[in-house]
Structure 1
Amino acid sequence: MSSADNLEGQSALKEELNRKIKEQKVVVDELSNLKKNRKVYIQQRNSNIFFLADRSQTLGSCKKELDNMKKDLQDM
Structure 2
Amino acid sequence: MSSKLRDNEDSFEGPSALKEELNKKIKEQKIVVDELSKLTKNRKVYVQQRNSNIFFRADRDQTLGSCKKELDDMKKDLQDM
Match of 1:47? 52
Identity %: 81
| Mapping for residues 17-28 of structure 1, pairs under 5 Å | 17-28=22-33
Query: Which of 1 and 2 has greater Rg?
Result: 2
Which runs of 5 or more residues in structure 1 are unaligned?
none
Q: Which runs of 5+ in 2 are unaligned?
A: 1-6
The Cα RMSD (Å) is 0.8
Matched, 1:74 2:79: yes
- 1:6-21 → structure 2 map (5 Å cutoff): 6-21=11-26
Q: Deviations over 1:7-44 (max 9, x none)?
A: 21110000000000000000000000001100000000
Q: What is the rounded CA distance, in whole Å, between the counterparts of 1:63 and 1:32 in structure 2?
A: 10
Query: What is the Cα deviation at residue 5 of structure 1?
Result: 2.1
Q: What does residue 10 of structure 2 align with?
A: 5
Higher helix share: 2
Partner of 1:29: 34
How far residue 60 of structure 1 moved from its aligned partner, in angstroms, is 0.2
Task: Return the alpha-carbon distance in structure 2 between the equivalents of residues 7 and 53 of structure 1.
Answer: 42
Structure 1 residue runs of 4 or more that deviate by more than 3 Å after TM superposition: none
